[in-house]
Amino acid sequence: MASSMLVIKVTCLAMICLVLCIPLANASLTCDEVKQNLTPCLPYVTNPHTLSPPDQCCNGVKTVNDNAQIKPDRQDVCRCLKSLLTGVPGLNGTVASTLPSDCGINFRCPIGPDMDCDKVN
């Protein structure tokens, strides 16, 4: 009886360890989520009359950057940004390319119409 209780306890402990050691799900964003996070930046990149982007925009840039931790995710973000940038009428490319630094964020993916997403590390 005591040995069966020990087996049950060891089994339960092993199951708890397995559950706690499961890696977290990949936190990458879909292109729709990237778009949603960066939508607050549209007024700034199309008509930059303020000295700095709005906080909500910078929060979105930070969220996208934080969720692109590995090369394939950064490349996906790059491809998404490239497709989004081509559809923004009145986009100021210079302002768009400096947006991360304007927000104080070291963005891991260059922003601009000529980005080569295959070269993003």
Tell me the two tokens of residue 23: 């890696």
Give tens-digit pLDDT for 33-43.
999 999 999 99
Q: Classify domain 28-119 by CATH number.
A: 1.10.110.10
- Burial class of 64 by CB neighbour count within 10 A (0 to 12, 13 to 18, 19+): buried
Residues 62-110 have pLDDT tens digits of 999 999 989 999 999 999 998 888 878 888 888 888 999 999 999 877 7
Domain boundaries, the chain: 28-119
